[in-house]
């Protein structure tokens, strides 16, 4: 084959390749524009989101050892948490809850660090026979807007139901954003009191 014939053959081959590529692009554009393709891609995105959520899910844990109690105590006494709760948490109070079957300490963690905590009582001199109370709950500022507190409250409610309680109580600052949180959890404002420091507190109640 002469050099000229070889060049002509090469041009024809290149033209065929270009035409084939253009056809592939056209078919791909048509396929991606179709409703079926769009639906499949949407489903893929949803499944990817669910997979990511499952991988990042933080399960509620119950304090099983005194070491857990110490870690929970340290969490509640972080400066940011103290400022929000307006109080220091004493380890002895948590230990007493840990040692009793009618009280419980729950927490979530990520990367070995506690991200949220809760203490619930089902028996106390300050509670009626059919009442339970969430005494402490807080979420680390860096782990908010993840539903951790809602999950802890749901766990506490289930614990109270197991103890045949009919009402869950929780007290918070009447001027705090926490009021909206408790209402989102199904609680209602029932009564108010003023502390020695002049803070107005509201009792939030939910029927079980």
The pTM for the full model equals 0.71
pLDDT of residue 50: 40
Give 189's contacts (C-beta < 8 A, 6+ positions apart): 179, 183, 202, 203, 204
In angstroms, the first-to-last Cα distance of the chain is 92
User: DSSP letters of 88-127?
Assistant: PPPHHHHHHHHH-TTEEEEEEEETTEEEEEEEEES--TTS
Q: What is the C-alpha to C-alpha distance for residues 37 and 43, in angstroms, rounded to an integer?
A: 10
Q: What is the C-alpha to C-alpha distance for residues 152 and 118, in angstroms, rounded to an integer?
A: 7
Q: What is the C-alpha to C-alpha distance for residues 105 and 26, in angstroms, rounded to an integer?
A: 61
pLDDT band at 85 (very low <50, low <70, confident <90, very high): confident
Q: What percentage of residues in the chain have a pLDDT greater than 70?
A: 72
Burial call 59-84: b when 16+ CB within 10 Å, e when fewer? ebeebeeeebbebbbebbeeeebeeb
pLDDT of residue 52: 38
Mean pLDDT of 180-197: 96
Mean pLDDT of 57-71: 91
Q: How many CB atoms lie within 10 A of CB 108?
A: 24
pLDDT of residue 48: 46
Q: What tokens were used for 61?
A: 């844990």
Helix or strand or coil: residue 201?
strand
Query: Is beta strand 167-173 parallel, antiparallel or unpaired with respect to 188-194?
Result: unpaired
pLDDT of residue 25: 56
| Least trusted range by pLDDT, from 5-9, 33-37, 63-67, 164-168 | 5-9
Mean pLDDT of 155-164: 98
pLDDT of residue 33: 57
CA neighbor of 171 nearest in space, from 85, 101, 106: 85
Does residue 86 or residue 167 have the better pLDDT? 167
Q: How many CB atoms lie within 10 A of CB 120?
A: 27
């Amino acid at each position: 084959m002469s050099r000229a014939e070889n060049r002509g053959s090469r041009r024809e081959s290149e033209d065929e390749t270009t035409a084939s590529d253009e056809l592939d692009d056209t078919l791909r554009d048509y396929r991606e524009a179709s409703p079926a393709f769009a639906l499949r891609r949407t489903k893929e995105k949803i499944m990817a989101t669910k997979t990511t959520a499952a991988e990042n899910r933080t399960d509620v844990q119950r304090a099983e050892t005194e070491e857990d109690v110490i870690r929970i105590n340290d969490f509640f006494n972080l400066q940011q948490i103290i400022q929000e709760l307006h109080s220091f948490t004493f380890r002895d109070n948590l230990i007493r809850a840990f040692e009793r079957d009618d009280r419980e300490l729950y927490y979530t963690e990520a990367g070995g660090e506690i991200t949220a905590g809760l203490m619930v009582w089902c028996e106390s001199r300050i509670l009626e026979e059919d009442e339970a109370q969430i005494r402490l709950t807080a979420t680390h500022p860096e782990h908010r807007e993840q539903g951790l507190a809602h999950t802890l409250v749901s766990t506490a409610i289930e614990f109270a139901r197991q103890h045949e309680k009919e009402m869950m109580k929780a007290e918070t600052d009447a001027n705090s954003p926490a009021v909206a949180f408790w209402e989102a959890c199904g609680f209602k404002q029932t009564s108010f009191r003023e502390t020695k420091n002049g803070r107005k507190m509201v009792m939030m109640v939910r029927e079980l």
